[in-house]
Amino acid sequence: MSKLVIEGGRRLSGVIHIHGAKNSALPILAAAYLAQGPCEIENCPLLSDVQAAGKILQHLGCTVEREEHTMRVDASEASGFTVPDGLMREMRSSIVFLGAIAARTGKAELSFPGGCELGPRPIDQHLSALRQLGLQICEEGGRLECRVKGRLTGCPISLSFPSVGATENILLAAVTARGTTTIINAAREPEIVDLCDFLCACGAHIRGAGEGTIVIDGVERLHGCRHRVIPDRIETATYMGAAAITGGSLLLKQVKSEHVQAIIPVFEEAGCQVAVWGDELLISAPGRLRRVHTVRTLPYPGFPTDAQALMMAPMCVADGTSVFIETIFESRYKHVCELMRMGAQIKVEGRVAVVEGVAELFGAPVECTDLRGGAALVLAALAANGTTEITQLHHLERGYEAMAQTFCGVGAAAYLQE
Ligand code: UD1
């Protein structure tokens, strides 16, 4: 089993190029199944989740080619409507293929995604919305058997929570449905806007992307297009966290600073200096971070749940006590126990975590518990006194391209050991 070995205590300094957003690339790859022509998707990160999405498309009958960070998907001849259990399990967010498959073929058969490392991952909003559009869904033995009678038909759909995945599934199902679909209380994340930009470049009619109400006028068919995936705001937050926790200074390139507007002030509150110009962001950290008052995770444009663990790691060595309130996922503090193995002082009570900053963390053997929790351990290890060995790296491979090399390039001592 491979492990990431990090000798901590080095101040990071240098330049890092941010990759394309995983959470944009995945629904866009699903959307490529709707296009009756070749799509060229640039800036796709080289990640296991993206690879899994490519495998699903191939299984559905698409031609998929990859050249560095560009993926070419041609669904012209494809007509598959099943996703085997193994492929569904390879990528937790594979449920986003449901809307695209149903819209393209009028039927879909795939397995229920089940729970995940963030706790139960219900898809009730996805299913209820797709049913409103006319999809008949039978849930049996962990499988979803779906059929459309006639054609999917647009209607107003109100979400009880602005779920990212449900909004994506509705968009994918509605762009070629008959009539107009209005999503009320839609998710406003930048990845939703990116998906809508891709769909519109393929000929879809969508208004209101990035707002709480999205209106989709169904079109007969979509054509192929060329699209560039937006920069990953969570990867950006990760490297900001690395600069902060090591007292370092990093210049991040290919950043979309509008997308990290809720994150920047929190780093500033901790004493970091953040300067933004064009698509570059420079973060410089003080010798000792200050604590931040309260970090409450919220749907976009609030502080992202995906950055909660990434902010918690630096706060473990800040001067004072910080409070985190996780409002999005039920079980998103699994990294806490691992951080405590490294000497962090954290108390969790339900959705609240209280972090009392300590003078220093110590290297220890730790396990990635999930993607962002794993990244938080890497940040802690970069600052820790001594050597940290991190295992369960498959979590990190889902969301970070060449993470160890990237950190070595800015002065860290990190290497992979088989
Ligand atoms: C996406 C992101 C994930 C991020 C999350 C919130 C991808 C691949 N993943 O996940 O990284 O952390 O947005 O920003 O883009 N919920 C229900 N019923 C549903 C759907 C969701 O109860 O039908 C609940 C979830 O359990 C969770 C909350 O709503 O508590 C948010 O989920 P959602 O916005 O759907 O997140 P994902 O799309 O799964």
Q: Which of 105, 175, 181, 187 is nearest to 146 (CA)?
A: 105
> Can you give the pLDDT at residue 149?
85
Q: Please provide residue 44's backbone torsions phi and psi, each rounded to the nearest 5 degrees.
A: -85, 125
Residue whose CB lies within 8 A of the most ligand 1 atoms, among 44, 92, 144, 161, for a mutation test: 161
- Dihedral angle, C-alpha 384, 389, 391, 393, nearest 10 °: 70
CA 164 to ligand 1 center in whole angstroms: 6
**CA of 372, closest atom in ligand 1:** 11
Task: Kindly report the CATH class assigned to 3-19+231-417.
Answer: alpha beta
> Can you give the pLDDT at residue 116?
63
CA 5 to ligand 1 center in whole angstroms: 32
Buried b (16+ CB within 10 A) or exposed e, 196-207: bbbbbbbbbebe
Residue 39 among the catalytic residues: no
Residue 117 DSSP class: T
Judge whether 362 and 384 are in contact, CB under 8 Å: yes
Express each pLDDT in 357-394 by its tens digit. Answer: 999 999 999 999 999 999 999 999 999 999 999 999 99
Instruction: Write out the two tokens for 89.
Output: 């399990």
Residue nearest to atom 36 of ligand 1 (CA): 164
Q: How many H-runs (helices) and E-runs (strands) does the chain carry?
A: 14, 24
Percentage of residues of the chain with pLDDT beyond 90 = 91
Look at residue 338 and tell me whether its pLDDT is greater than 70.
yes
- Whats the size of the chain, residue-wise? 418
What is the separation of C-alpha 221 from the centre of its chain, rounded to a whole number of angstroms? 29
> Can you give the pLDDT at residue 112?
79
Pick the CATH number of 22-228 from 3.60.110.10, 3.40.980.10, 3.65.10.10, 3.40.50.300: 3.65.10.10
For the chain, give the mean pLDDT.
96
CA 163 to ligand 1 center in whole angstroms: 5
Residue nearest to atom 19 of ligand 1 (CA): 123
Q: Which of 113, 92, 119, 116 is nearest to 331 (CA)?
A: 119
CA 137 to ligand 1 center in whole angstroms: 21
Express each pLDDT in 83-123 by its tens digit. Answer: 988 888 888 789 999 999 999 999 999 987 755 666 667 89
Residue nearest to atom 7 of ligand 1 (CA): 23
3-state secondary structure of 403: helix
Q: Do domains 3-19+231-417 and 22-228 have the same CATH topology?
A: yes
Separation CA 218–CA 178 (nearest Å): 5
> Can you give the pLDDT at residue 1?
67
Instruction: Write out the two tokens for 168.
Output: 């994506």
Strands 321-325, 352-356: pairing kind: antiparallel
CA-to-CA separations, 407 to 22, 174, 317, 402, in angstroms, rounded: 19, 42, 20, 9
Separation CA 11–CA 205 (nearest Å): 49
Residue nearest to atom 4 of ligand 1 (CA): 306
Q: Which of 28-32, 113-117, 245-249, 290-294 has the lowest mean pLDDT?
A: 113-117
Residue with tokens 């569904």: 88
> Can you give the pLDDT at residue 115?
53
What is the separation of C-alpha 332 from the centre of its chain, rounded to a whole number of angstroms? 14
- Pick the catalytic residue from 39, 116, 196, 316: 116
Instruction: For residue 154, name the pLDDT band (cuts at 50, 70, 90).
Output: very high
Half-sphere exposure of 186 (CA within 13 A, CB side): 29
Separation CA 169–CA 158 (nearest Å): 14
Residue nearest to atom 33 of ligand 1 (CA): 163
Q: What are the residue ranges spanned by the domains of the chain?
A: 3-19+231-417, 22-228
Instruction: For residue 136, name the pLDDT band (cuts at 50, 70, 90).
Output: very high
Residue whose CB lies within 8 A of the most ligand 1 atoms, among 157, 328, 333, 370, for a mutation test: 328
**CA of 128, closest atom in ligand 1:** 23
Average pLDDT over residues 68-96: 92
Instruction: Write out the two tokens for 251.
Output: 């210049």
Kindly list the protein residues whose Cβ atom lies closer than 6 A to any atom of ligand 1. 23, 26, 93, 121-126, 161, 163-166, 187, 191, 304-306, 328-329
What is the separation of C-alpha 107 from the centre of its chain, rounded to a whole number of angstroms? 27
Instruction: For residue 238, name the pLDDT band (cuts at 50, 70, 90).
Output: very high
> Can you give the pLDDT at residue 124?
93
**CA of 304, closest atom in ligand 1:** 14
Average pLDDT over residues 325-346: 95
CA 167 to ligand 1 center in whole angstroms: 10
Judge whether 310 and 379 are in contact, CB under 8 Å: yes
Average pLDDT over residues 252-270: 98
CA 301 to ligand 1 center in whole angstroms: 15
Look at residue 152 and tell me whether its pLDDT is greater than 90.
yes
Half-sphere exposure of 160 (CA within 13 A, CB side): 5
* Beta pairing partners, 251: 15, 282
Average pLDDT over residues 316-337: 95
Separation CA 334–CA 176 (nearest Å): 40
